[in-house]
Amino acid sequence: MKLEDALPQLGQENLLSIQSYLLAEEDKHPHATGRFTWILSAISLATKYIAARCRRARIEDVLGAMGSENVQGEEQQKLDVIANETLLACLGKRAGLAIVASEENEEPLILSCDGQERPYIALFDPLDGSSNLDTCGGVGTIFSILHHDRRADPIENAVRQKGVNQIAAGYVLYGPSTVLVLTTGRGVQMFVLDPSIGSFLLVDADVRIPQANKSYSINEAYTNSFPEGYRKYLSWAHDNGYSSRYAGAMVADVHRILMKGGVFLYPPTEKAPNGKLRLMYEANPMAMIIEQAGGKAYSGTMRTMEVEPEALHQRTSVVLGSSDEVDIVLSNLA
Ligand code: AHM
Ligand code: MG
């Protein structure tokens, strides 16, 4: 008898948890120490907790602004702080991590200087698009994992690595369901949180972005302050039957593009001449996911993951999505 024949009631139900998936992957690497799996399991735990807090935010009265600003001079939402502390608490004690860096903290948190036993660095945006929470809109966590370079002096400099050095990247979208999208450099996997059992379950082991879709995602209200090439692209898209969708939270917008195709853009503006989004913990992890799914990701006319970072909180412009759609944008920027 085959296994499938013995499961008439379960049929095709998805019953592979992220933990089982990671352990199975670890098994394929004879020299794996388990530390990497341990770090990703901390992210899974933290984001389950954040999902629960987002869901109860109105009831617990933790919506709205904190009354303080983060390092970027942006107003912090109460849940930005809760999400940040949750990730720091879960990651901060995991063996294997040397440095943790967050959008919400000016300086990276150095967990230990003995790089030997701590080969990894984690960077994250704890709650991207958090102002959406007030209106029950989608928000997310974005993360990037790098190898720790023990030669860096001072040690803080170890975080400044190109996106091509990422060994894993992902995001969690807190929407009608909680979705975790992960890449460890061998394709893109998608998990959905089953709240009734508290596990992220694998629903797609090889996510591919459609090659084209006549859809763009941009804050079009800023059009007059975009560089000419972006205005030219938008005018071309208007004449060619494109539709527009913009949630105002990068995770929600990029997830839609990953699923359905299209292009996400955040160009330079007069207010943010280098772009608004952060290279190291927003643009780079999203670029790795999109490229691993078969799409493209650029900062202006340069591949995002090739940009040499000069600062942890550096900003960048973003053009990412279906390869054909990104090519059309780039042809207008040239
Ligand atoms: P945040 O990290 O402070 O939440 O800001 C990033 C967010 C992205 O999620 C989103 O793509 C962008 O800011 C929206 O900006 P705008 O309101 O200018 O369109
Ligand atoms: Mg953000």
Ligand 1 close to Cβ of residue 75 (< 6 A): no
State the distance from the centre of ligand 1 to the C-alpha of 251, rounded, in angstroms.
10
User: What is the distance between the alpha carbons of residues 55 and 49, in angstroms, rounded to a whole number?
Assistant: 10
Candidate from 277, 279, 286 with most ligand 1 atoms within 8 A of CB, to mutate: 277
Ligand 1 close to Cβ of residue 140 (< 6 A): no
- Which residue, judged by its Cα, is nearest atom 16 of ligand 1? 248
DSSP string, 110-134: E--S-GGG--EEEEEEEEETGGGGG
Q: Which numbered ligand comes closest to the C-alpha of 266? A: 1
Which residues, 6 or more positions from 45, have their beta carbon under 8 angstroms from its beta carbon? 90
Position in ligand 1 atom list of the atom nearest CA 272: 18
State the distance from the centre of ligand 2 to the C-alpha of 162, rounded, in angstroms.
19
Task: Assess if CATH 3.40.50.720 describes domain 215-333.
Answer: no
Given a contact cutoff of 8 angstroms between Cβ atoms, the answer to whether 217 and 256 are in contact is yes
- pLDDT tens for the chain, 334 residues long, are 888 788 888 766 778 999 999 999 888 887 788 888 999 999 999 999 999 999 998 888 888 777 777 777 777 788 999 999 999 999 998 888 999 999 999 999 998 755 557 889 999 999 999 989 989 999 999 999 999 987 888 888 899 999 999 999 999 999 999 999 999 999 999 999 999 999 999 999 999 999 999 999 999 999 999 999 999 999 999 999 999 999 999 999 999 999 999 999 999 999 999 999 999 999 999 999 999 999 999 999 899 999 999 999 999 999 999 999 999 999 999 8
Looking at domain 12-204, its CATH architecture is 2-Layer Sandwich (3.30)
State the distance from the centre of ligand 2 to the C-alpha of 126, rounded, in angstroms.
8
Longest dimension (CA), the chain: 67
Q: Domain boundaries in the chain? A: 12-204, 215-333
- Which residue, judged by its Cα, is nearest atom 7 of ligand 1? 129
The runs of H, that is alpha helices, within the chain are: 18-27, 35-55, 57-60, 78-92, 228-239, 250-260, 284-292, 323-333
Cβ atoms within 10 Å, residue 206: 12
Total residues found in the chain within this entry: 334
Given a contact cutoff of 8 angstroms between Cβ atoms, the answer to whether 160 and 153 are in contact is no
Given a contact cutoff of 8 angstroms between Cβ atoms, the answer to whether 65 and 76 are in contact is yes
Same fold flag, 12-204 and 215-333: no
Q: What does pTM read for this prediction? A: 0.95
Give the strand pairing for 120-128 and 302-303: unpaired
State the distance from the centre of ligand 1 to the C-alpha of 131, rounded, in angstroms.
9
* DSSP 3-state of 69: strand
- Which residue, judged by its Cα, is nearest atom 6 of ligand 1? 129
State the distance from the centre of ligand 2 to the C-alpha of 26, rounded, in angstroms.
30
